[in-house]
Structure 1
C-alpha cells in the first residue's frame, strides 16, 4: 500500500495526471470537429503541460535553492527534462502558425511564474487574476492549437468551443479553490475568499449550465453524442462541487476531479 501511495503521489506531483487531462481535452476537441487524429498536437500538449506545471510549482525551489532536493523532487526534475526534450520534438512537428501561437501561450505561463518587473510579483500572485490566466491558457492549448494545426478557420463554432472550454476549466479551478480556501494566501483573493464557498458553488453551477446551453447554438449541431458527453462531464463536476469543502484530502481535486476529462475521453475511445 505504501508503494502504491508513493507511486500515486509521484504521479500527481510530477503533473502526469493533469498532463493526461490536457491530452484528453485536445483529443476531444479533435473528435468534435472531425479532425483526423494528429498525435503531434496532443503529445505536445501532454509534455508541455508536464514542463509548464512543474516549472510553475517548483521554479521557486530551484531558483532560490531553499532546500536540498529530495529523492522525489530529483525524479520530477529528471522527468521534466525528458518531457522538455519530448515537447521540443513534437513542437518541431507543428506548423509555423501553430508554433507562433504555442509561444504566445508559453509567454502566459512565464507571466504566471516569473516577475518581469523589479520588485513586482508574478501574475500568479496578482489578486483574482490566477484563475483567468489558467483558463485562457487551457483554452489556447486544448482548443485553438489543435484546430489551428488542422487548418480549421476561426468560426462561430470554434468560438463556442473556446467559451465552453473556458467555462469548464473555470469551474474545475473553482473546486480547487474551494478545497484550498484555507491554504491559499489571502492576498490571492480567490473567488471563495472573496464571495464565500456557497456563493462560489452557485456561481459554478450557473457556469456549467451556460456551458450546456451553448451546445444548442452550434451551426452543425446535428448529433446527440457531443451534448451527452458534455452533460456527463458537467454533471460529474457538479457532484464534485456539491461535496467540495476545505476539509477534503488533496486527492479529492488533484486526482479524482482531474480524472473527469480523462474519463470523458476514455468513454468515447471505447464507444468508437
Structure 2
C-alpha cells in the first residue's frame, strides 16, 4: 500500500491527473461539436497542462531552494521538460489562429504565476481573482482552442459551451476552496473565506443549475444525450460540493473531484 500511495502522490503532484482532465474536457468539446480524429489539440492541452501547472506549483520552490530540491521534484522537473518538448511539437501542428489563441492563454498563466508589475504580487495572490483566471484559462484551452482549430465559427452554441465550461470549472474550484479554506492565506479572499462554506455550497448548486438550464438554449441540440450527460456531471459535482469540508483529505479534490471529467469522458467513449 505504501508503494501505491507513493505512485498516486507522484501522479497527482506531477499534474498528470489534472492534465488528463484537460485532455478529457477537450475531447468532450470535440465530441459535442462533432470534431473527429483531431488529437493534436487534446495532446497539446495535456502536455501544456503538465508544464503550466508544474510551473505554477513549483516555480517558487525551485528558485528559493536551489540546493535542497527533493528527488521527487527533480523527477517532476524532468517530466515537465519532456512535456514541454511534446507541447512544442503539438503546438506546431496547430493552425496559426490556434497558435495565437494558445499564446494568449499561456500569457494568462504567466500572469497568474509571475509578478509583472514592480512591488506587486502575481495574479494568483490578487484578492478574489484566482478563481476567475482559472475558469477563463480552462475555457480557453478546453473550449475555444479546439473549436478554433476545427474552424468552427463563433455562434450561440459556442458561447453556451464556453459559459457551461466556465460554470463547471468555477463550481469545481469552489470545492477546492472549501477543502483549503483553513490553509489558504486570508488575503486571497476566496469565496468561502468571504461568504462562508454554506453559502459557497449554495452558490455552487445555483451555478450548476444555471449550467443545466442553459442546455435548453442550444440551437443544434436535437437529442437527449447531451442534457442527460451534463445532468450526470453536474449531479456528481453537486455531491462533491455537499460533502466538502475543511477536514477532507487532499485526495478528495485533487484526485476524486478531478476524476469526474475523466470518468464521464470514458463513458462517452464507451457509448459512442
- Coarse TM-score class (shorter-chain normalised): over 0.9
- Give the ranges of 4+ consecutive aligned residues of structure 1 lying more than 4 Å apart after TM superposition: none
What is aligned with 2:114? Answer: 114
2:258 counterpart SS class? helix
What is aligned with 1:71? Answer: 71
CA distance in 2, matches of 1:119, 1:67: 26
What is aligned with 1:185? Answer: 185
Cα deviation, residue 64, structure 1? 2.3
What is aligned with 2:237? Answer: 237
Q: Write out per-residue CA displacement over residues 163-189 of structure 1, whole angstroms, 9 at most, x where no aligned residue.
A: 000000000000000000000000000
CA distance in 2, matches of 1:90, 1:100: 14
Cα deviation, residue 148, structure 1? 0.3
1:123 and 1:129 in contact (8 A); partners too? yes
Task: Give the total of aligned pairs.
Answer: 272
What is aligned with 1:147? Answer: 147
What is aligned with 2:125? Answer: 125
Cα deviation, residue 37, structure 1? 2.7
Cα deviation, residue 66, structure 1? 5.9
Normalising by structure 2, we get a TM-score of 0.99
What is aligned with 2:93? Answer: 93
CA distance in 2, matches of 1:271, 1:36: 15
Match status 1:212 vs 2:212:
yes
Normalising by structure 1, we get a TM-score of 0.99
Q: Write out per-residue CA displacement over residues 227-261 of structure 1, whole angstroms, 9 at most, x where no aligned residue.
A: 11100000000000100000000000000000000
What is aligned with 2:134? Answer: 134
1:61 and 1:67 in contact (8 A); partners too? no
Cα deviation, residue 268, structure 1? 0.6
Return 5+ residue gaps in structure 2 as ranges: none
CA distance in 1, matches of 2:75, 2:3: 16
CA distance in 2, matches of 1:182, 1:67: 30
Return 5+ residue gaps in structure 1 as ranges: none
What is aligned with 2:265? Answer: 265
Cα deviation, residue 65, structure 1? 2.7
CA distance in 2, matches of 1:102, 1:190: 27
What is aligned with 1:20? Answer: 20
